[in-house]
Amino acid sequence: MSNPKLHTIYQETILPEIMKEKGYKNMLQVARLTKVVINTGVSASLDKAAVEDAARDVSNIAGQKAIITRAKKSISNFKLREGMPIGAKVTLRGARMWDFAYRCLNIALPNIRDFRGVSNKLDGSGNFTLGITDHTIFPEISTDGNKRNMGMDITFVTSATNDVDGHDLLNRLGMPFRKNLSAEESTENQAA
C-alpha cells in the first residue's frame, strides 16, 4: 500500500510546523494519530442477521474485517444474555488508519446534510470520539440494499497527553471543529 495522502501531509508539513512552534528537539514529542476505532451497536432484540449486516458494513467502511462484539453480562430488562452478539468494531492502524481518516474527514463528513462542524470536546487525554447517526454518508455503503440506518462511533486516538495538543493535531489534520462565534460575529451573520 502506498503512503496515504494524509500521512504525507502530516510528515511533510504538520510535524515540522508543530516542532518549530513548540520548540521540540525530537519528533517523537509531537502528538500523532495512533489508531482509529470504529464501533457500532445493534439492538439486542434484532435478529442475528442484523449484527452480521452491521459487521459487513463496518468492514466495507474501514477496509478491514470487523469483529463481532458480544455481551459481557446478562441484562434481563434488555433481553440480553451473556455472549450474545450485540455489535461490531474494527481498530485501524498504520496506512489503513491514515487512509480512513482522510476519507472520513474529506469525503464522508461533508456529505452530512446541514453539517456545521463537530463538537470541540475531547476526552481529557487528547482523544476525540465522533458520533455518526447515519452510516450511508460513506460512499462504500450503497443505499439500495440497506434495510436500516446504523449509527456508529469513530474514535481518533492520539499520543497527546492533553486536550490542547490533541485538538491542535486534529485541527491541523482537517477535523471540521465547530467555530465558536462571538456575539458580535453572530449578529453580523444574521444581518447578512
Task: List pLDDT tens digits, range 2-11.
Answer: 678 899 999 9
Categorize the per-residue pLDDT at 184 as very low, low, confident or very high, splitting at 50, 70 and 90.
very low
pLDDT over threshold 50, residue 191: no
- Cell digits of residue 171: 485541527
Over range 73-84, report the average pLDDT.
85
Higher-confidence residue of 107 and 93: namely 93
Range from 20-29, 139-148, 165-174 carrying the lowest mean pLDDT = 139-148
Please report the pLDDT score of residue 11 as a whole number.
Answer: 93
> What is the SS3 assignment for 86-100?
EEEEEEECHHHHHHH
Q: In the chain, what are the domain boundaries?
A: 5-14+30-176
Categorize the per-residue pLDDT at 185 as very low, low, confident or very high, splitting at 50, 70 and 90.
very low
pTM of structure: 0.85
Please report the pLDDT score of residue 1 as a whole number.
Answer: 52
Residues 6+ apart with CB under 8 A from 126: 31, 158, 159, 160, 161, 162, 163, 165, 166, 167, 169
> What average pLDDT does the chain have?
85
User: Chain centroid to CA 31: how far?
Assistant: 17
Please report the pLDDT score of residue 80 as a whole number.
Answer: 82
pLDDT over threshold 90, residue 148: no
Please report the pLDDT score of residue 32 as a whole number.
Answer: 93
For 5-14+30-176, which CATH class?
alpha beta
